[in-house]
């Protein structure tokens, strides 16, 4: 699950690039060049998002019913923005388009902003907690057999009222823009667009680092959520996530390597005007860093989905997992991950050749 989440964050470079359609593309031709560059990859992001949700449903059904069911307004807005993305790619230049291409391009920008910010805010609740209550005794209530419920009427939108969730959501947004800029530099053969992407890369990288480090220091020095493996009783522990990294030095090492690779990809791209390969070390670094953060949120007797309303309702990988049969099945399915990664690499290579204005004029294009 952590690997799928890490891959999803990396693949959101599509959203990051789309959020810059109008700031990078000053003409209709430039905007179309940008859209066709990301248009080759958007299915990978959407498919990973759906797979992430499906795997969570199979492996941790109580989390799925609590978060996706209780916080459904937050998730519905996220999914609706991705639906806007799919529709926008397919219909912006179709005959009979009464709204005009610019309207659908605006929809892509909306998805480019809402997708990363809201997904980042949702992931931040793994550390900051959410307002839900779980009452497993309700399963025998024939009138209303609902185990989990939201403690207020916001149905998940209250997550946006926590400033730390917003900080992390904005960090994911600017990370997506960093990766999007690196992808444009790598994939688009246009001197003007490459120059603009390089300029914006610096500002987006600085904002990402400030926001991410602020959130990271906050969770390391603040309180975390643990549970007793013998009794299952949850408790608030000061410095829990810092202790997790100290106990699981291998996870801390993965995090460090990921951060170094990300900074290397950004730094070398900024310094060198001819190097276009920054997306690769930065992308691998993103996957490693996010993987480590998600493992830190769930391993070492940690509640990965804390409840701010009722501490003992907090979810961990023991009390929220599926049956042994389902987990065994998912364990076998997880062995397919290398093949899935190989397919992603193959698909990327098959449709990932650099794009230029001639291809837009003479080939198939959005």
pLDDT of residue 95: 66
The three-state secondary structure class of 105 is helix
Q: Which residue has the tokens 């904002």?
A: 207
Instruction: Express each pLDDT in 47-63 by its tens digit.
Output: 888 888 888 888 898 89
* pLDDT: which is higher, 23 or 146: 23
pLDDT of residue 13: 93
Counting residues of the chain whose pLDDT is more than 90, the rounded percentage is 51
Q: CB atoms < 10 A from the CB of 244, how many? A: 22
* 3-state helix/strand/coil string of 183-240: HHHHHECCHHHHHHHHHHHHHHHHHHHHHHHHHHHHHHHCEEEEECCCCCCEEEEECH
pLDDT of residue 140: 60
Q: Considering just the CA atoms, what is the radius of gyration of the chain in Å?
A: 21
d(C-alpha 123, C-alpha 121), whole Å: 5
pLDDT of residue 292: 96
The three-state secondary structure class of 305 is strand
Instruction: Express each pLDDT in 208-223 by its tens digit.
Output: 999 999 999 999 999 9
Q: Which of 285, 315, 284 is nearest to 297 (CA)?
A: 315
d(C-alpha 59, C-alpha 31), whole Å: 41
Contacts of 118 (CB under 8 A, 6+ apart): 74, 77, 78, 81, 160, 169
281, pLDDT greater than 90: yes
Q: Residue 245's pLDDT band (boundaries 50, 70, 90)?
A: very high
The model's pTM: 0.91
Q: What is the largest CA-CA distance in the chain?
A: 67
d(C-alpha 136, C-alpha 62), whole Å: 10
Q: Which two tokens stand for residue 32?
A: 């179309």
Q: For the residues 226-240, what does the mean pLDDT come to? A: 93
Alpha-carbon distance values, 148 to 132, 135, 191, 225, 309 (Å):
7, 6, 54, 19, 12
Q: CB atoms < 10 A from the CB of 32, how many? A: 22
pLDDT of residue 124: 94
Continuous H helices in 60-100: 61-63, 69-70, 72-91
pLDDT of residue 37: 86
Q: Which residue has the tokens 């989440």?
A: 5
Q: Which of 353, 364, 356 is nearest to 41 (CA)?
A: 353
Instruction: Express each pLDDT in 292-329 by its tens digit.
Output: 999 999 999 999 999 999 999 999 999 999 888 988 88
Alpha-carbon distance values, 13 to 20, 61, 247, 358 (Å):
11, 29, 32, 24
Q: Are 197 and 19 in contact (CB under 8 A)?
A: no
pLDDT of residue 241: 95
Q: For the residues 87-98, what does the mean pLDDT come to? A: 75
């Amino acid at each position: 699950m952590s690997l799928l989440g890490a891959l999803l964050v990396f693949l959101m470079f599509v959203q990051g690039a789309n959020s810059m359609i109008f700031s990078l593309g000053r003409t209709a031709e430039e905007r179309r060049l940008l859209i066709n560059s990301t248009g080759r990859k958007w299915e990978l992001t959407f498919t990973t998002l759906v797979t992430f949700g499906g795997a969570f449903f199979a492996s941790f059904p109580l989390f799925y019913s609590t978060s996706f069911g209780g916080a459904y307004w937050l998730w519905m807005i996220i999914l609706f923005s991705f639906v806007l993305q799919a529709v926008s790619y397919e219909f912006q230049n179709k005959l009979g388009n009464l709204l005009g291409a610019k309207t659908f391009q605006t929809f892509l920008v909306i998805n480019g902003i809402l997708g990363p910010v809201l997904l980042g805010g949702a992931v931040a609740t793994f550390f900051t907690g959410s307002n839900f209550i779980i009452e497993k005794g309700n399963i025998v209530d024939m009138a209303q057999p609902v185990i989990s419920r939201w403690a207020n009427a916001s149905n998940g939108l209250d997550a946006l009222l926590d400033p730390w969730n917003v900080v992390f959501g904005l960090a994911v947004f600017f990370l997506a823009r960093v990766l999007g800029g690196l992808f444009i530099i790598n994939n688009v053969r246009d001197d003007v667009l490459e120059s603009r992407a390089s300029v914006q890369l610096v500002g987006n990288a600085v904002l990402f680092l400030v926001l991410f480090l602020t959130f990271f220091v906050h969770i390391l020095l603040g309180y975390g959520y643990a549970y007793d493996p013998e009794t299952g009783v949850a408790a608030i522990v000061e410095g829990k996530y810092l202790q997790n990294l100290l106990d699981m030095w291998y996870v801390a090492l993965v995090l460090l390597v990921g951060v170094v690779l990300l900074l290397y990809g950004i730094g070398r791209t900024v310094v060198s005007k001819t190097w276009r390969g920054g997306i690769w070390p930065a992308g691998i670094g993103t996957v490693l860093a996010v993987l480590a953060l998600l493992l830190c949120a769930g391993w070492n007797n940690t509640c990965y989905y804390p409840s701010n309303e009722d501490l003992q309702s907090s979810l961990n990988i023991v009390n929220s997992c599926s049956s042994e049969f389902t987990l065994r099945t998912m364990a076998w399915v997880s062995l397919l991950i290398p093949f899935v990664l190989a397919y992603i690499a193959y698909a990327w290579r098959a449709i990932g050749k650099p794009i230029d204005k001639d291809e837009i004029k003479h080939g198939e294009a959005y």
